[in-house]
Amino acid sequence: MCGIIGYIGSKEATPILLEGLKKLEYRGYDSSGVGVCSAKDGKIIVRKAQGKIRHLEDLIKSHPITHATTGISHTRWATHGAPSHRNSHPHCDVKQTIAVVHNGIIENYQELRQELQKKGVKFVSETDTEVVGHLVAEYFKGDLVKAVQKAIGRVRGAFAFGVICSADPNLLVAARVGSPLIIGIGKGENFIASDVPAILDKTKRVIYLKDGEMAALTRDDVKIWKFDGKPVTPKIDTVTFTVGSAQKEGYPHFMLKEIHEQPHVLAQMIKSRIKNDHVVLDGIGLSDNQLKSIKNIYIVACGTAYHAGMVGKYLIEKIAGIPVVVDAASEFRYREPILQKNTLILSVSQSGETADTLAAVRDARARGAKAITICNAVGSSLVRESDGVLYTHAGPEIGVASTKAYTAQIGMLYLFALKLGELHKKLSDQERHKIIKEFKHIPSLYKTILQQKEHVAQIAKKKFRFGCFLFLGRNVNYPSALEGALKLKEISYIPAEGYAAGEMKHGPIALIDEYRAVVCIAPQSEVYEKMISNIQEIRARKGKITAIATEGDKDISKHADYVIYIPKIDPLLTPLLVAIPLQLIAYYIAVNLGCDVDQPRNLAKSVTVE
């Protein structure tokens, strides 16, 4: 979704803003813009361009901006109004004395727009954001902080704002409700940004602005208030990501780099979360007694995180014997689920900012439920709004298609299931010992699977022209089939369906003919034979099969056109392993098709609007 970076310091702002915008490209956008306070003539200068940031750079090369050390900038992902020059941010008031960048949605913008139009204000865009520029200008009586505060009092919805004003070029004002915003603390310079990677090469000292807070930044100072004017003492955190973690480091795409980071992510998780054969879940926020009293669990999540949650259902029910319902957060929030006294809400999210997941958690907590989040982004909204957090610490995920965050979520769900299994006395010491031993092998098994990437690349070469894919799996790998299909469609745009293999006969089998590519997830497990029956049914109808199977399974190659092997492991752990071939299949097919793997069309990394 939209990205924000703002700068105030003693250097030229424009190059810093452009650099920062490039680091936010992964969030997904369709236009971009910068607005700066010019010290030369006391004016606000704005440059905007539709399309990629290089178009904005070209524009600035031909129309340079100098002598401006305070500025804001934005990548826009269209919500209100088409992607276009006039709808891109920053938006200004009529006299161009105020400029605003905004992430989120202003719900009452129509009524504010009409009110301002009645006063003679001429609007130039179709956006919800433009009202803010005009409102701030209307309330501005020499104090930008007060004007922003008054304007905020009029708007409803979700927002992160950055605001500058020509009358006070040494001030940058920011505010947030719902949409994330951080403040970066530098030496003689300060920043605002919607996400850490934008400023990671400038500073690692950040303040996570909370909902209902606004900030005034000068070169040397940051002041924070609640919207009602009450001062807040800022808490400065130090980000642990390295600059390298937000760069490609020799890989052609972030997605491929992140696929390769999975052994490291799981190894770190094992190192920090397993001590003396016990699972340690620091941060979980609930006492052992509270965890023992859990009677049922709702997992809420969206997209890939929802698929991880589906795997979690199999794990928790099997290992801990606690009933689990998995809901797409967008469904949960509107269907009035029945929450009991000891119901736990477990949200799963990479960004911690997904609007539907956040709303589902808020709703459940308002009704008395306890909520734990499995989250990657430190200090995100979901973390703040939950009773406890299990950080996956997968590092920044820049590729829009989730890879390492997904396996880290499954890993954490596995550990959570083990913890509950232990507390609910469903798991003997011996069983726990055996499972933990297997789990510890995952990082080295990942390396073995990744060694086959050339083999997967060759399969992708043969398959990328197929117009439609079907992914089939059973039991704990049914969610893997859904995730395999999602990965392929989001980065290659090839229609793909994931299905529970047992459901094939009830409809999807009609799709099968010689033009259909089918990926069958068939590792050794109690449902292996059933998968083989499905494979035979597909073969009988000339479908083209790629199987993911367990090393040593020679028989399967008799039925499938191609086989990708994963090492032998406890069947419950197979979703962690099959994820890698599925990610690689999607990746190489998309590369063969010449798709923009890291920034697929129409997608946003963090979906902060409903």
490 is a site residue for ligand F6R (CB under 6 A): yes
Shortest gap between Cβ of 527 and ligand F6R (angstroms)?
26
Shortest gap between Cβ of 606 and ligand F6R (angstroms)?
5
Strands of the sheet containing 213-217, edge to edge, are 91-92, 98-106, 157-165, 172-177, 213-217, 222-226, 231-232
4 is a site residue for ligand F6R (CB under 6 A): no
Peptide bond between residue 90 and the one before it cis (omega within 30 degrees of 0): yes
**CB closer to ligand F6R out of 75 and 350:** 350
**CB closer to ligand F6R out of 268 and 402:** 402
Task: Decide the pairing of beta strands 222-226 and 296-301.
Answer: unpaired
One symbol per residue from 72 to 111: x for binding ligand F6R (CB under 6 A), - otherwise; what is it?
----------------------------------------
126: number of CA atoms within 13 Å, CB side?
A: 8
**CB closer to ligand F6R out of 35 and 178:** 178
Nearest to 293 by CA among 339, 343, 337: 343
607 is a site residue for ligand F6R (CB under 6 A): yes
305 is a site residue for ligand F6R (CB under 6 A): yes
Shortest gap between Cβ of 471 and ligand F6R (angstroms)?
14
Shortest gap between Cβ of 28 and ligand F6R (angstroms)?
11
One symbol per residue from 370 to 409: x for binding ligand F6R (CB under 6 A), - otherwise; what is it?
-------------------------------xx-------
Q: Which of 350, 525, 534, 583 binds ligand F6R (CB under 6 A)?
A: 350
Q: How far are the Cα atoms of 30, 76, 435 from residue 52, in angstroms, in the given order?
A: 7, 11, 48
**CB closer to ligand F6R out of 48 and 176:** 176
Q: Which of 100, 135, 200, 302 binds ligand F6R (CB under 6 A)?
A: 302
Give the whole-angstrom CA distance, residue 547 versus residue 519: 6
SS3 564: strand
Shortest gap between Cβ of 349 and ligand F6R (angstroms)?
3
**CB closer to ligand F6R out of 115 and 385:** 385
The 3 state secondary structure assigned to 256-273 is HHHHHCHHHHHHHHHHHH
- Which residue lies nearest ligand F6R, judged by its C-beta? 303
**CB closer to ligand F6R out of 385 and 551:** 385
Nearest to 606 by CA among 242, 268, 196: 196
**CB closer to ligand F6R out of 38 and 381:** 381
DSSP annotation string for 70-132: EEEEEEE--SSS-SSTTTSSPEE-TTS-EEEEEEEEETTHHHHHHHHHHTTPPP--S-STHHH
Shortest gap between Cβ of 581 and ligand F6R (angstroms)?
16
Question: What kind and span of H or E run contains 454?
Answer: helix 453-463
Give the whole-angstrom CA distance, residue 14 versus residue 378: 29
360 is a site residue for ligand F6R (CB under 6 A): no
φ, ψ at 300 (rounded to 5°): -120, 135
**CB closer to ligand F6R out of 28 and 71:** 28
> Would residue 48 show up in a list of annotated catalytic residues for this protein?
no
**Given the residues 313, 463, 487, 605, the one annotated as active site:** 605
533: number of CA atoms within 13 Å, CB side?
A: 10
The interface region with ligand F6R, picked from 146-154, 255-263, 275-283, 346-354 by CB under 6 A, is 346-354
Q: How many CB atoms lie within 10 A of CB 233?
A: 5
Burial pattern 316-325, b for ≥16 Cβ within 10 A else e, equals beebbebebe
Shortest gap between Cβ of 44 and ligand F6R (angstroms)?
34
357 is a site residue for ligand F6R (CB under 6 A): yes
Q: Which of residues 400-459 bind ligand F6R (CB under 6 A)?
A: 401-402
121: number of CA atoms within 13 Å, CB side?
A: 24
Q: Which residues contact 43 (CB under 8 A, 6 or more apart)?
A: 37, 96, 166
**CB closer to ligand F6R out of 487 and 559:** 487
Strands of the sheet containing 469-473, edge to edge, are 496-500, 469-473, 517-522, 544-550, 562-566
> Would residue 605 show up in a list of annotated catalytic residues for this protein?
yes
303 is a site residue for ligand F6R (CB under 6 A): yes
The interface region with ligand F6R, picked from 70-78, 94-102, 259-267, 299-307 by CB under 6 A, is 299-307
Nearest to 485 by CA among 508, 507, 462, 454: 508
Binding site for ligand F6R (CB under 6 A): 302-305, 349-351, 354, 357, 401-402, 490, 606-607
Positions marked active-site: 2, 605
